[in-house]
């Protein structure tokens, strides 16, 4: 009568695991939906002439990297040590060359320079070129650099003036 009892134990285990995986998957997608951003929030400058729509997964990866390697100095987009050079779109755009796009920010994270690009900040700002002295950037690959830069630009879209704005309190 009861077919389950007739199934051998291995099949029961497999059935149990499948049910668990399905449930877990459902919970996860539910969570992703809850934090889903609008497409306009995920649309950022790729370069000075092109835009790109990031996926929720790319933003989520960028967020994890930001909180593990950047937020200690860039809490809420502000800049500890130099409040005039924040991560707000206004400040990023004002840099020479402008940094309010993914490729320019990736370039900064490889070879950081002062706001006017005159001074090399290799020894002062985390970067991947000198990962030997900047341990926290050691495991960054190209995709990570793009995701973390994308996250910064998405925050500027989502949080507006609160991102990098106001007084520096951290």
Residues that bind ligand HEC (CB under 6 A): 69-70, 72-74, 79, 81-82, 85-87, 91-92, 95, 99, 105, 108-109, 114-115, 121, 125-126, 148, 152
Least Å from the CB of residue 55 to ligand HEC = 19
DSSP-assigned states of every residue in the chain: --HHHHS-HHHHHHHHHHHHHHHHHHHHHHHHHHTPPPTTTTEEESSSS-EEE--HHHHHHHHHHHHHHTHHHHGGG--TT-TTS-SSHHHHHHSSS---SHHHHHHHHHS-B-TTS-SB-TTTS--STTTTT-GGGTT--HHHHHHHHHHHHHHHHHHGGGSS-S----
Least Å from the CB of residue 25 to ligand HEC = 31
Least Å from the CB of residue 2 to ligand HEC = 57
Q: Is the Cβ of residue 42 or residue 77 nearer to ligand HEC in the bound state?
A: 77
Contact by Cβ (8 Å): 53, 102: no
| CA 23/CA 158 separation, integer angstroms | 31
Q: Is the Cβ of residue 54 or residue 70 nearer to ligand HEC in the bound state?
A: 70
Least Å from the CB of residue 73 to ligand HEC = 3
Q: Is the Cβ of residue 42 or residue 106 nearer to ligand HEC in the bound state?
A: 106
Q: Is the Cβ of residue 39 or residue 118 nearer to ligand HEC in the bound state?
A: 118
Q: Is the Cβ of residue 36 or residue 93 nearer to ligand HEC in the bound state?
A: 93
Least Å from the CB of residue 113 to ligand HEC = 8
């Amino acid at each position: 009568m009861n077919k389950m009892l007739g199934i051998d134990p291995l099949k029961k285990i497999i059935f149990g695991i499948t049910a668990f995986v399905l449930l877990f998957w459902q919970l996860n997608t539910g969570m992703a939906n809850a934090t889903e951003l609008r497409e306009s929030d995920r649309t950022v400058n790729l370069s000075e002439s092109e835009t790109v729509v990031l996926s929720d997964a790319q933003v989520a990866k960028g967020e994890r990297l930001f909180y593990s390697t950047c937020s200690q100095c860039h809490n809420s987009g502000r800049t500890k040590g130099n409040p005039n050079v924040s991560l707000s779109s206004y400040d990023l755009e004002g840099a020479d060359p402008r940094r309010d796009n993914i490729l320019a920010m990736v370039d900064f994270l490889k070879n950081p320079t002062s706001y006017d690009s005159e001074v090399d900040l290799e020894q002062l700002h985390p970067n991947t070129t000198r990962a030997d002295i900047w341990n926290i950037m050691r495991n960054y690959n190209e995709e990570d650099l793009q995701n973390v830069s994308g996250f910064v630009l998405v925050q500027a879209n989502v949080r507006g003036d609160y991102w990098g704005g106001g007084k520096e309190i951290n």
